[in-house]
Amino acid sequence: MTPLDNGHDLVSRFPEDGEADGSAEGARGALRRDAHDAAHILVVDNYDSFVYTIVSYLRTLGAVVDVLRNDAIAVVGCDIVPAETNSDSSAFVKNSDFSGDGDGAFRTRDVEHVSFADYDGVLISPGPGAPANAGVSEDMIRLCARTGTPMLGVCLGLQALAEVYGASVTHAASIRHGKTSDIELLGVNGRSCSYRGDEASPTEDLGDSAEVKGTVQSMFEGVPNPFVATRYHSLAVDPHTLPNELEVTARAMDDDTVQALQHVALPLYGVQFHPESIMSGSGYRIFANWLGICGQSSAVGRSYGLMPRVPAISR
């Protein structure tokens, strides 16, 4: 399979601040020797305006981030390869022209030089539409399940995780675009979840026995219960269709919608709300906890003092 021939690099590269110039291969080697062991994260861009805000949060916490559009790559076996077709080649020019923070840290690489084994974790971004139409997103989640690679889905990414495991995503009872809700933590961090119906269907084996790269633990360690988060969604996971593999770990207190999911045995996570919103409390800590799951132990310490100043609860 040949890489896309559009004359532009396809991977937006956001190295850690201070990373030396040089080849992609040399940079990865330098990362592994770095004192704070920066996590190397692949962000699947679902054509959403929040993507680079999330990238900024991850970089602030010390991660090295590559961004790939959801139609730039395909999953083959246990690796990623250039997609044979994509719907909008000009979108990659936008990525390549993004100037980063102006300090020369932004670079691009051609997608043919990207290997899934290079990444410590994968983040599936928010985006418009339904998860089934989010390009490689659902296949990427399956790949993370097969390989035990930590994965975080945000908004559309949570819905994709639910669909991969057989749950239904339906129209939400109320549309929440730019609205805050009080979020209650459940399951791992709070009371047992009573959402799941007794008739949840069994799902295909996605690799629950895979060797896990990261640590299966809570995304919400150190987060107040409840806390305020910002929501931008008109679709929601039907909790009664969730399989036993997925646990609801947070809900919205105003309308009882699923706001976070976690796989019971694999480091697969999803949040329906937007941690990167300025009106979401503990956003940096939530991303830092996930980077810790990806193996970057310094992330939580870097998150101290970075939380937006919002009330503990919205009431």
Positions marked catalytic: 155, 274, 276
Encoded tokens for 28: 């990865």
The residues near 22 (Cβ < 8 Å, ≥ 6 apart) are: 30
For 273, residues 6+ apart whose C-beta sits below 8 A from its C-beta are 155, 181, 183, 229, 230, 231, 252, 259, 260, 280
Place of tokens 């990427």: 140
Whether residue 226 has a cis bond before it, omega within 30° of 0: yes
Residue 284, CA distances (Å) to 61, 65, 101, 265 in order: 8, 16, 19, 25
Closest CA to 119 of 275, 219, 11: 11
φ/ψ (deg, to 5) at 49: -75, -15
SS (H, E, C) 187-254: CCCCECCCCCCCCCCCCCCCCCCCCCCCCCCCCCCCCCCCEEEEEEEEEEECHHHCCCCEEEEEEECC
Task: Tell me if 278 sits within 8 A of 294, measured CB to CB.
Answer: no
Distance CA(180)–CA(75), nearest Å, equals 36
